[in-house]
Structure 1
């Protein structure tokens, strides 16, 4: 089962944000979308959720045009979590998480036993069961992010698209969130996450997709996609690498490389051009 793009092109406010993206994503994997600021990562995630219309190419879900699927079917099959999400109503955390079950219910229907079980599971997995009766608008930024992650998990969709899911989380909860996303992928969910923390991406992701200047620069296992050459080219950094006591490899961005973007972008051939100011 695949979520795929073919020659995908997106323009926003007259600017090309994505150009010629060919990508085939598979369920059961945690895929990290990485790249410098303005690479087009969030726009790609929005396109995969059918929230922005392409000017060329398109997105398919199991071979069917995503835009042609009924909205309620898309909502059941693809759950989304966007960075900076707000909770605007003074409702309980449990009620926030329950919103994730709306695609499974008829209008105005009460939650079913299955809905209740899914909500409880999602809160436990996001470590917010103890916050269930808190008013959501009183949460800290980290607690709010976990509540919104739980809402996305409550959908129990085939695909989970997450934009910077560890933003505002402390180190312990960052590790918890990444462990949770990887566990969800192991259970058969296709998980795609926009990440800025290359150390977490290298450690937890099965596959890394690197964008730069709106184009696909690399796609593969972390060791291959985050090679020294690519880190210097796309991010302008060097990295220290090693192995933890359990044998797990790690990567730490360490210093500027003296090449690569510096508030800039990469052109159609992938050559970095200093001074450009792309839009995410």
Structure 2
């Protein structure tokens, strides 16, 4: 099963946000979508979820054009988490997470045993079970993001699209969330996540897709996608590279690259 775009362009308010983006992600892989602010990452995620209409190109879900996939089927098989989401009215955390089961329930039906088990699993995985009786306004930004992630996981969809799922989290919970996303991908869920932390993206993701100016400029394993030249061009940064005690290689954004200098021209060449 694959979610894919071909020649995808999106224009919003006469501004070209995406240009000719061809992209694909399937079950069992963890894809990190990276790029500077305004590169088009969130818009691509929204287009893949069917929340933004393309001005050109197409999105296919499991071989079918996305608009041809019934909304109820799409809701069961494709989960989304956007960084800008709020918890809305003051619901209990357990009730928010339970919303993830709506695509699996008949109209006006209550939670069944399968629903409750999925909710419990999602809350345990995201470490929010102790928050079950809390209401939205009492949560910190990090707690809120973990609750929203739990709601997305409760869907138990085949593909999860997550926009900046670790942005509001402290370092320990960032590691927990990235480990969790990596684990669920190994268990068969396809994960596409917009990420700003290049170090964690390179460590946990199977593939890195780099966007710049609304286009995909690199797509591959972290070591091949996150080259010094590309990082200088797309992010304007110089990185330090090293090897951890377990042998894993890592990168650390270290300083700003001198944009417009001969050194940048040499790096891109």
The two structures share one fold, judged by TM-score above 0.5:
yes
Query: Is 1:227 paired with 2:252?
Result: no
2:258 aligns with 258
CA distance in 2 between partners of 1:237 and 1:136 (Å): 38
Shift of 1:75: 0.5
RMSD: 1.0
CA distance in 1 between partners of 2:103 and 2:253 (Å): 41
Aligned residues of 2:81 and 2:152 also touching (Cα < 8 A) = yes
CA distance in 1 between partners of 2:47 and 2:200 (Å): 24
CA distance in 2 between partners of 1:93 and 1:24 (Å): 33
1:47 aligns with 47
**Correspondences of 1:91-240 after superposition (within 5 Å):** 91-240=91-240
CA distance in 1 between partners of 2:118 and 2:36 (Å): 36
Deviations 1:153-188 (A, max 9, x none): 000000000000001100000000000000010000
2:264 aligns with none
The answer for unaligned runs of 5 or more in structure 2 is 261-267
1:24 aligns with 24
Aligned residues of 1:88 and 1:137 also touching (Cα < 8 A) = no
Shift of 1:103: 0.3
CA distance in 1 between partners of 2:214 and 2:168 (Å): 26
Deviations 1:182-205 (A, max 9, x none): 001000000000001111111111
CA distance in 1 between partners of 2:210 and 2:121 (Å): 33
Shift of 1:91: 1.5
Shift of 1:231: 0.4
CA distance in 1 between partners of 2:170 and 2:11 (Å): 35
Aligned residues of 1:32 and 1:208 also touching (Cα < 8 A) = yes
CA distance in 2 between partners of 1:114 and 1:212 (Å): 42
Shift of 1:137: 2.1
Shift of 1:214: 0.5
CA distance in 2 between partners of 1:19 and 1:88 (Å): 33
Deviations 1:45-65 (A, max 9, x none): 001101000011110011100
CA distance in 2 between partners of 1:215 and 1:88 (Å): 33
Query: Is 1:88 paired with 2:88?
Result: yes
Aligned residues of 1:49 and 1:78 also touching (Cα < 8 A) = yes
Aligned residues of 1:28 and 1:189 also touching (Cα < 8 A) = yes
CA distance in 2 between partners of 1:237 and 1:77 (Å): 38
